[in-house]
Amino acid sequence: MKLYPLILIIFLLLVQQSNAQNEVSVSGQFENTSLTEIFRKWKRENDLRFAFDAVECDKIHVTLDIDNKTISAALTEVLDNTKLQWKLVGNTYVIFPGPNQSSSVQPV
């Protein structure tokens, strides 16, 4: 019985490590690039799915260099200093407004 918690912890660590290894890495140099262009580039190059409000994301431009980062880290960096957040729902990365923001999110 005392081994059960240890086995459970080891199993959870292995699952977490496996998920981290399976996460897609993305790259790109973006200079004054709209979020829409970035999401479409990553979708095309990595067979990812995104859902976002293209009209709103067209208005937001960023300049940054993403070099072989996990999609989670890259999305967090891209959306830094915006009022947008992201969440993985099933196999789709959903970009949505943060608290007190409103927008219409559509799949792309």
CA–CA gap between residue 61 and residue 32 (Å, rounded): 5
* pLDDT(10) > 70: no
Q: Tens of pLDDT along 63-92?
A: 999 999 999 999 999 999 999 999 999 999
Average pLDDT rounded to a whole number, residues 15-22:
48
**CB neighbours of 13 closer than 8 A, spacing ≥ 6?**
none
* pLDDT of amino acid 23: 86
Q: Tens of pLDDT along 21-47?
A: 468 999 999 999 999 999 999 999 999
